[in-house]
């Protein structure tokens, strides 16, 4: 029999207190110092921040300590991540912002996804009637969408913040000017991109100082980015969308500054000043589903994150995962992921261009019609055909599958809460590690390659593909920042992750680990992951791939391949006594950074 949710959450709160008390004797570390150690869990009062980088988390904490709210701190943290995580996020990218307002007990979101130029059509990535190679498209002007991050920051601050843009950018500007300490992750990410970074002289000059990889332990400074932040603070985001900064972006996209001796064909884009001026970060209603008596809110299309996580939770609703064996839990989790990804591929795209059945995808009736496909003694075939959410048919089979397209896996997520109870879950990105590889000369940031999230050609010519390029269209995303509220519409937990299409399975596994399996939040984040995205094989991290569970699942018919690292989640949890718990990765991407304003002893 399923345990009541209230009991589960009480156990989680006690477990969280136990986790923190283990390290309570350690002396506090000054936040904001370059190279400050990463702590994956923190508990206290006054608000909390969790991100992948201690300098970025410290920027958010600084704003909270000065009286700013969760939105102010989220923008400050995001801007600092643009300094310390420049291959994952920044001025040249976009993202999705989910906000819980404690006063009204409501959730609202901002779609800050990049958009294609107004001249783009379904043949954006084809030449001579054939799709160009993905590797050729990535490092080109063709891949660059209109950036949405600065517009997202301004919209969030205008609607829910209490501080001016210049004020919340100041910690990041200072960090860019004075520098941060290079760690193994930053060096390895640079090394992985070294060849294509050398195609572009401005990128090489910035990220390969003196022509060499940055040295671990050295200080990495970005004075150009500091000046860009100062300009944005002084002139507002109009500097990008209607000013000189935007002119520089357009010139860079349309004529990528490539080293002529590299031999690289950096295909030009067709971004215009009109594209920038027309851009809007859009307010929209969140997705919502009920799970175990809790209200789960996330981002609606153009991202598929909210609909796909929500559908999978609805499919799992009828299964008592709290009492299931580990093998049955993972089997059910994998199959629910497979089914929801099958539906995602067929139905989700930019709703300004596509008729997306969001409400139907999130209905329990539709989930039940799909859940009956799952058997405890067999595995579904992949790629699985989608269902029809508008006309649910129990256990319907047949049809044509839409395989999941590739998405770059390097993004970043931050989660923030404040002393008033407001919460932000914000995932931002420039697509894959290093984005397009193209740095805007003199501006200190990389441009995104988000348009490669479009389908280059229909996955199946016989089936409509909702994710083909179009003029001003937003490519489909898997980003899934999620806020969970109790029946009184008060926060329980908020989570999110980077990882391309694996974001969806990471968020889903973290939520079920926390809600159903009774894991403390930091352990739900740290648990070894599986990711099934309607493919023939399910990806497993080593902790599962090398475990006896793999053999038990293979006996059912599952097929696996190893993935050394899936996602890098962060989250915050509201404890019953009013304290906040912040949680981040223990090891992935070198570990994350959880901080609170006033740590509890």
Q: DSSP states of 511-557 as a string?
A: HHHHHTS---HHHHHHS--EE-SSSSSEEE-HHHHTSHHHHHHHHHT
Q: What is the mean pLDDT of the chain?
A: 93
Confidence band of 459 (pLDDT split at 50, 70, 90): confident
**Could you tell me which residues are annotated as the binding site?**
113, 453, 477-478, 500
Q: What is the mean pLDDT of residues 425-445?
A: 97
How far apart are alpha carbons 478 and 299 in whole angstroms?
Answer: 10
pLDDT digits (tens, 9 = 90+) for 348-367: 999 999 999 999 999 999 99
Tally of helices (H runs) and strands (E runs) in the chain? 20, 20
Residues 6+ apart with CB under 8 A from 441: 202, 248, 252, 257
Q: What is the mean pLDDT of residues 64-84?
A: 98
What pLDDT shows up at residue 324? 97
Whether pTM > 0.75 for this model: the answer is: yes
What pLDDT shows up at residue 407? 67
What pLDDT shows up at residue 408? 60
Decide if 454 contacts 125 (C-beta within 8 A).
yes
From 27-31, 269-273, 363-367, 455-459, the region with the lowest mean pLDDT: 27-31
CB atoms inside a 10 Å sphere around CB 191 = 13
pLDDT digits (tens, 9 = 90+) for 148-157: 999 999 999 9
From 330-344, 345-359, 426-440, 459-473, the region with the lowest mean pLDDT: 459-473
Q: Is 411 part of the annotated catalytic residue set? A: yes
CB atoms inside a 10 Å sphere around CB 485 = 22
**HSE, side-chain direction, 13 A CA sphere, residue 275:** 27
Domains and CATH numbers, the chain: 5-48+61-284+405-489+501-567 (3.60.20.40)
Confidence band of 406 (pLDDT split at 50, 70, 90): low
Which residue has better confidence, 464 or 235? Answer: 235
What pLDDT shows up at residue 30? 33
Decide if 509 contacts 530 (C-beta within 8 A).
yes
How far apart are alpha carbons 313 and 289 in whole angstroms?
Answer: 8
User: For residue 338, what is the enclosing H or E element?
Assistant: helix 326-347
Q: What is the mean pLDDT of residues 337-344?
A: 97
Residue 257 has pLDDT above 90, yes or no: yes
Residue 399 has pLDDT above 70, yes or no: yes
Q: Which two tokens stand for residue 272?
A: 């215009």
Residue 1 has pLDDT above 70, yes or no: no
How far apart are alpha carbons 376 and 41 in whole angstroms?
Answer: 36
Residue 3 has pLDDT above 60, yes or no: no
How far apart are alpha carbons 10 and 8 in whole angstroms?
Answer: 5
User: Please, where are the H alpha helices in 148-237?
Assistant: 149-160, 165-178, 184-197, 201-207, 223-235
Catalytic residue among 39, 307, 411, 505: 411
- State whether the Cα torsion 135-246-76-475 is positive or negative: negative
Confidence band of 398 (pLDDT split at 50, 70, 90): low
What pLDDT shows up at residue 569? 98
Decide if 89 contacts 95 (C-beta within 8 A).
yes
By percentage, how much of the chain surpasses pLDDT 90? Answer: 89
pLDDT digits (tens, 9 = 90+) for 575-601: 999 999 999 999 999 999 999 999 997
Q: Are strands 411-418 and 41-51 parallel, antiparallel or unpaired?
A: antiparallel
Residues 6+ apart with CB under 8 A from 545: 560, 562
Residue 42, beta-bridge partner list: 582
By percentage, how much of the chain surpasses pLDDT 70? Answer: 93
Residue 484 has pLDDT above 70, yes or no: yes
What pLDDT shows up at residue 396? 79
3-state secondary structure of 137: helix
Q: What is the mean pLDDT of residues 235-253?
A: 98
Residue 7, CA distances (Å) to 317, 319, 484 in order: 17, 18, 16
φ, ψ of residue 184 in degrees (nearest 5): -60, -40
How far apart are alpha carbons 235 and 196 in whole angstroms?
Answer: 33
Residue 8 has pLDDT above 60, yes or no: no
Residue 4 has pLDDT above 50, yes or no: no
Residue 477's nearest CA partner among 91, 136, 95, 81 is: 95
What pLDDT shows up at residue 10? 42
Residue 401 has pLDDT above 90, yes or no: no
User: Which residue bears the tokens 């000065």?
Assistant: 66
What pLDDT shows up at residue 22? 30
Q: What is the mean pLDDT of residues 116-128?
A: 96
How far apart are alpha carbons 354 and 56 in whole angstroms?
Answer: 37
**Could you tell me which residues are annotated as the binding site for L-glutamate?**
113, 453, 477-478, 500
Residue 360's nearest CA partner among 394, 424, 311, 408 is: 311
What does the radius of gyration of the chain's CA atoms come to, in whole angstroms?
A: 22
Q: Are strands 423-429 and 530-531 parallel, antiparallel or unpaired?
A: unpaired
What pLDDT shows up at residue 535? 95
Beta strands in 354-501 (DSSP E): 411-418, 423-429, 482-485, 491-496
């Amino acid at each position: 029999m399923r345990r009541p949710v209230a009991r589960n959450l009480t156990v989680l709160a006690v477990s969280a207190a136990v986790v923190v008390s283990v390290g309570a004797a350690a002396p506090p570390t000054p936040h904001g110092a370059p190279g400050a150690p990463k702590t994956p869990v923190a508990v206290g009062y006054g608000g909390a921040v969790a991100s992948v980088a201690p300098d970025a988390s410290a920027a958010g904490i600084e704003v909270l300590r000065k009286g700013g709210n969760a939105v102010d701190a989220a923008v400050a943290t995001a801007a600092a991540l643009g300094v310390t995580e420049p291959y994952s996020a920044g001025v040249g990218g976009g993202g999705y912002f989910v906000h819980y307002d404690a006063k009204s007990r409501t959730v609202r979101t901002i779609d800050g996804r990049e958009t294609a130029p107004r001249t783009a059509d379904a043949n954006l990535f084809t030449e001579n009637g054939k799709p160009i190679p993905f590797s050729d498209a990535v490092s080109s002007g063709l891949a660059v969408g209109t950036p949405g991050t600065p517009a997202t920051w301004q919209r969030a601050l205008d609607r829910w913040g209490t501080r001016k843009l210049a004020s919340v950018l100041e910690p990041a500007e200072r960090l860019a000017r004075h520098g941060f300490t290079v760690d193994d992750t930053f060096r390895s990410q640079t090394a992985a991109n070294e060849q294509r970074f050398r195609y572009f002289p401005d990128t090489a000059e910035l990220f390969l100082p003196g022509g060499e990889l940055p040295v671990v332990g050295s200080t990495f400074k970005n004075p150009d980015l500091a000046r860009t932040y100062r300009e944005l603070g002084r002139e507002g985001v109009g500097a990008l969308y209607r000013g000189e900064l935007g002119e520089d972006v357009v010139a860079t996209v349309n004529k990528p500054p490539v080293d002529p001796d590299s031999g690289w064909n950096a295909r030009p884009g067709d971004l215009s000043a009109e594209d920038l001026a027309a851009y809007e970060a859009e307010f929209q209603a969140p997705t919502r589903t009920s799970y175990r008596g809790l209200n789960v809110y996330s981002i609606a299309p153009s991202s598929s994150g909210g609909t796909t996580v929500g559908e999978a939770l609805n499919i799992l609703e009828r299964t008592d995962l709290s009492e299931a064996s580990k093998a049955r839990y993972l089997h059910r989790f994998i199959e629910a992921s497979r089914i929801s990804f099958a539906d995602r591929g067929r139905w989700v795209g930019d709703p300004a261009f596509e008729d997306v059945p969001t409400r139907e995808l999130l209905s329990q009736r539709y989930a039940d019609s799909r859940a009956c496909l799952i058997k405890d003694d067999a595995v579904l075939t992949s790629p699985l055909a989608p269902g029809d959410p508008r006309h649910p048919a129990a256990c319907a089979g047949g049809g044509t599958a839409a395989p999941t397209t590739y998405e770059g896996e390097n993004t970043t997520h931050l989660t923030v809460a404040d002393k008033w109870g407001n919460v932000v879950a914000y995932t931002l990105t420039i697509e894959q590690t290093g984005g397009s590889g193209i740095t805007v000369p003199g501006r200190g940031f990389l441009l995104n390659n988000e348009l490669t999230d479009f389908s280059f050609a229909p996955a199946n010519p016989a089936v409509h593909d909702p994710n083909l390029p179009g003029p001003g269209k937003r490519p489909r995303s898997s980003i899934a920042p999620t806020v969970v509220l109790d029946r009184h519409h008060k926060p329980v937990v908020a989570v999110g992750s980077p990882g391309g299409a694996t974001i969806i399975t990471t968020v889903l596994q973290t939520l079920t680990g926390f809600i159903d399996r009774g894991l403390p939040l930091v352990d739900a984040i740290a648990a070894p992951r599986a990711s099934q995205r309607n493919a023939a094989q399910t990806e497993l991290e080593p902790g599962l791939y090398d475990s006896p569970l793999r053999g038990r699942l293979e006996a059912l018919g599952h097929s696996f391949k190893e993935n050394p690292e899936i996602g890098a989640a962060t989250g915050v949890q509201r404890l019953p006594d009013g304290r906040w718990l912040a949680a981040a990765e223990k090891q992935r991407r070198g570990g994350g950074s959880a901080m609170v304003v006033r740590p509890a002893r």
